[in-house]
Chains A and B, each alone.
Chain A
Amino acid sequence: MHYMLGVQNDESVPPPTAADWDASFARVGVVNDEMKAKGVWVFAGGLLSSDSSTVVRVQDCTTTMTDGPFAETKEQLGGFWVIDVPDLDAALAWAEKCAGACWGPIEVRPFDGLA
């Protein structure tokens, strides 16, 4: 089973200091290495804040582009892992490690098939 572990980022609070950021980055690196060693790591990445985002819509053959994310909420997707594990309990155990590494809540969501 493939799961996305999405990091929830509260954009309404000030971003972490450079030192905090480095520490978190190092912790995330440890989790990534462990995932790779256990063979569950598929892909991972951090995202820039949602003010860098653009939404593209195609309706009746016309394309519109709007500034900003889907929803204007303070909680935005800050980054994610894609992992391949046998079941939800295994995914939740990894999510616990990820949440500890990046100090944010993690949403665990199963994939509905992969391309």
Chain B
Amino acid sequence: MDLTSVYRAEYGRCVATLTRLLGDIGLAEEAVQDAFAKAVDTWETLPPNPGGWIVTTARNRAIDRLRRESTREARHAQALLLHQPDDEPEEVGPVRDDQLRLIFTCCHPALSPLAQTALTLRLLGGLEVPEIARAYLVPEATISQRIVRAKKKIRDAAIPYRVPGAAELPDRLPPVLTVLYLIFNEGYAASTGPLLRTDLSREAVRLARALADLMPDEPEVLGLLALLLLVEARRAARVGPSGELVTLAEQDRTHWDRELIAEGHELVRRCLRRDRPGPYQIQAAINAVHTDGPATDWPQVLALYDQLLRHSPTPVVALNRAVAVAEVHGPAAALAAVEELDIPGYHLLPATRADLLARLGRTDEARTAYDEAAAMAGNDTERAFLYDRRARLVQPSQGSSIPPAAP
């Protein structure tokens, strides 16, 4: 019996349902933890509906606990519980809508971005505080303080526990998507330390799947899931045998996960049929092109970046577009576009400049740009990659792994 995987799968859903039943996140967490502790003691084999068992047990233990306490929160929670008729279907197990409510509460714009991320990982992902602290390389005390403060604010300021109405959704959905995207990215290209934190990426994919399952009519939700799947599919090929970074062009495509790619492509096709494009859908489409056929169709990627730039005119999008420009129109045109950009502290700007300069044979300038990029890069693998590229500059003709396209 694998209690750890039950915990991972059911924790967030059970906390979400208990939050609705008790009206308080802190009480809900305690009750669910109590129930899991009881499961460790009493389960010999897995019950047919583990989530249902946890919810029922947590609810009963919460009632016992609340009867012994007389604080204002306890009386409020008791009153809520007494008003829930026992025969309602939500009593038998976690309710899917509860999870959706909790995602929107955790990612409420009245909470700080770090608090949104930490709360989402703690409450919905069931990650422990030390795991979250390790993932973001901040002290455990910082994370637990943020979580405690956020939960206090949710209670004190009465941040509601519900899915926003259609009118509010355009404002409220983006922070939810951003949090899932950031969790995935932190797992994919860690800001410090080693390159990949697989568990964070998997958690983001799991949560994005749950969100897509709950909101199948929101194209940006499907777009985000497709994007994560298509990037996740290339994970195994992205790091070489000694842990080094492998660029897209050099990746062994037989190591890509075909199932994830097929799922991602199907989602992108669904989005195209809906024809309500947004930034996540366009990024998913770009990654669909990268993972379609034996090589990337760069003119199509460039056309998609043009479209993305119209939706999100940010310097980071412009930089990514320049990479496609290099493949379609050559490195000189791309360099001209890159020289106009200013993204303080972003190592991929000098890294891209370095690559373009190398391809143009401007070795000395390329070397300086690689140094600049390596000094800014946060994780060891990316830094090693940049030093390796810099070392190869000795022979200018071999400066780039990607042969320049005909201008």
Interface residues of A (CB under 8 A from B): 1, 86-89, 92, 108-110, 112
Cβ contact within 8 Å between A87 and B156: no
Question: Which of B108, B157, B159, B168 has the most A CB atoms < 10 Å from its CB?
Answer: B157
Shortest beta-carbon distance from A57 to chain B in Å: 27
Which residues from chain B contact A109 at a C-beta distance below 8 Å?
157
Which residues from chain B contact A88 at a C-beta distance below 8 Å?
108, 110, 157-160
The 6 closest A-B pairs by CB, nearest first: A87-B160, A87-B158, A88-B159, A110-B157, A1-B158, A88-B157
Question: Would A110 and B158 be within 8 Å (CB), given that A89-B164, A89-B168 are in contact?
Answer: yes
Annotate B146-184 by CB proximity to A: 1 below 8 A, 0 otherwise: 000000000011111000100010000000000000000
Task: Tell me the total A-B contact number using a CB cutoff of 8 A.
Answer: 23
Shortest beta-carbon distance from B115 to chain A in Å: 15
Which residues from chain A contact B164 at a C-beta distance below 8 Å?
89
Which residues from chain B contact A86 at a C-beta distance below 8 Å?
158, 160
A1 to B155, CA, bound (A): 11
Given A87-B159, A88-B157, 5 other A-B contacts at CB below 8 A?
Answer: A1-B158, A86-B160, A89-B159, A89-B164, A112-B156
One of A1, A92, A112 near B110 (C-beta < 8 A)? A92
Main secondary structure of the interface of B (DSSP, over half): loop
Shortest beta-carbon distance from B161 to chain A in Å: 9
Q: Which residue of A lies closest to B110 (CB)?
A: A88
The 13 listed contacts between A and B (C-beta, < 8 Å) are A86-B158, A87-B158, A87-B160, A88-B110, A88-B159, A88-B160, A89-B160, A89-B164, A89-B168, A92-B110, A108-B157, A110-B157, A112-B156
Which residues from chain B contact A89 at a C-beta distance below 8 Å?
159-160, 164, 168
A108 to B109, CA, bound (A): 13
Q: Which residue of A lies closest to B104 (CB)?
A: A89
Q: Which residue of A lies closest to B161 (CB)?
A: A87
Shortest beta-carbon distance from A55 to chain B in Å: 27
A87 to B156, CA, bound (A): 10
Q: Which residue of B lies closest to A109 (CB)?
A: B157
A88 to B172, CA, bound (A): 14
Which residues from chain B contact A112 at a C-beta distance below 8 Å?
156
Which residues from chain A contact B110 at a C-beta distance below 8 Å?
88, 92
Shortest beta-carbon distance from A93 to chain B in Å: 8
Q: Which residue of A lies closest to B108 (CB)?
A: A88
Shortest beta-carbon distance from A78 to chain B in Å: 22
Q: Which residue of B lies closest to A92 (CB)?
A: B110
A89 to B110, CA, bound (A): 9
Question: Which of A89, A92, A109, A112 has the most B CB atoms < 10 Å from its CB?
Answer: A89
A86 to B168, CA, bound (A): 16
A110 to B110, CA, bound (A): 13
Annotate B118-158 by CB proximity to A: 1 below 8 A, 0 otherwise: 00000000000000000000000000000000000000111
Which residues from chain A contact B158 at a C-beta distance below 8 Å?
1, 86-88, 110
A86 to B158, CA, bound (A): 8
Shortest beta-carbon distance from A46 to chain B in Å: 24
